Amino acid sequence: MKKIYYLIIILIFYLFILFILSLAGEAIEITMGGQLNASLTTVYTEQTGFILVPQANLDLELFLPSWNNNEIKCAGYLFTDVVEGRVDFFWKKLYWKHRFEDFHLTIGRQPISWSFGSLLNPVDYTIGAVALDREYNPKFQNALEIYYPINWNTSLSLVASLPGQDLTWKAGLRGRTLIKDFDVTINYIQEQIEAGETGGYRFGITAKGDLGSCGVYSAFGYYSEEKTCSLLVGLDYSYFFPAGNQLYIQAESLNIPPEILSKITGSMMSLSEEEEDKNIHLLAGNISYKIDELSSIGMTALYNYSSGSVILMPVYSNQLSTNSTIKVQGGVMTKSMSEAEGSTLEVFFGKPTQIFLEVSLNHSF
């Protein structure tokens, strides 16, 4: 019933936008697109054994033409919440953007992420918004953003948002420039928990460029609440075979506070009590091989050097048709992690998980 209710709300809103635009009296080309995803996940835990978890979600976006330096973006996300046992919905995009002569102004629900190509980003606007090439709910916030391009390679971004939950408001300033062919950014973020109570600030620097045939990048972050720092260094490399196949390798090393690591990975990599008072040494890597134009295989790995725990996540993807793709991915946790107190891979229902396997089918339209 709730699924029908949310679909009606989305449809009414989109029809309302169409009606407003039609008042302009001009021929306007409007299209709608999105992606439907259905998956079945097998989860194994010591407490419950094997569990089958069916899931489905729908990305829906309305593509509207721009006019007079104005843009309106509308995108919604309908999904099944397996924890609560219900269908839920939230807006990914619902904003207005205007390009003034000297700056750009964006107001409304919008995606905000200061990513720079790393697998794990310790200095993002919202920690954990994007991790391991996946985006999560905290990326989408009700915000105001002012983007000021100084010249072709230097810019400033000012963001003020209402994240909700435990934070009353958040504001961030980011500068970006090019120094000797390296893309360098500096950001400062201030958070407030309640009215009159400051939630702390964060400061971050990133740099990314090329050294020979390899790409290299680094990040440094300082967190006032934890009174500690994080450091990330990484590299990536692509090799193209004569037949057109591609091998891609990415690896990075992090020295990171446990609180920040938990925000990035969620419950994917919980920590033992011995690790809670000191920085974590973490290695993250990804390797993928493009078999042909339609299929690819890959492996993502996380290694906690401090505890010796490992997570391995293999994936296989195959494009069945122009719009449909099937993906098989899994997760395996090593024995050393499963035996450590509190070091568990929690995927569904908050249960300690050693193995999971997911088969998903994506259809774009």
The DSSP line for 134-157 is EE-GGGEEEEEEEEEEEETTEEEE
Give the domain extent around 19.
Answer: 1-84+267-365
The pLDDT score that the predictor gives to residue 210 is 94
- Pair type for strands 31-45 and 352-364: antiparallel
Q: Is residue 180 part of a domain?
A: no
Q: 251 in a domain, yes or no? A: no
- List all residues 6 or more positions away from 98 whose beta carbon is below 8 Å from its beta carbon: 69, 70, 71, 104, 105
Report if residue 124 sits inside a domain.
no
Percent of the chain past pLDDT 90, that is, above it, reads 52
- Does residue 111 form part of some domain? no
> Distance between CA 34 and CA 355 in Å, rounded?
31
Tally of domains in the chain: 1
pLDDT of res. 328: 96
> Which pLDDT score is estimated for 160?
95
d(CA 208, CA 185): 9
Query: Which of 48, 25, 53 minimizes the C-alpha distance to 38?
Result: 53
For residue 360, being part of any structural domain is answered with yes
Model confidence at 99, in pLDDT bands (50, 70, 90)? very high
* pTM value > 0.75: yes
Q: Is residue 365 part of a domain?
A: yes
Tens of pLDDT, residue by residue over 208-253, are 999 989 999 999 999 998 889 999 999 999 999 988 899 999 999 9
Show the 3-state SS of 300-318: EEEEECCCCEEEEEEEEEE
What does the alpha-carbon distance between residue 92 and residue 36 come to, in Å, rounded to a whole number?
A: 15
Whether 249 is covered by a domain: the verdict is no
pLDDT given at position 117: 92
347 vs 214, which has greater pLDDT? 214
pLDDT at 338 over 70: no
pLDDT tens for 256-307 read 998 898 889 876 665 554 556 688 899 999 999 999 889 999 999 999 887 7
Q: HEC states along 6-63?
A: HHHHHHHHHHHHHHHHHCCCCCCCCEEEEEEEEEEEEEEECCCEEEEEEEEEEEEEEE
Cα→Cα distances 22→10, 16, 65, 72, Å: 18, 10, 12, 14
**H or E stretch at 264:** helix 258-265
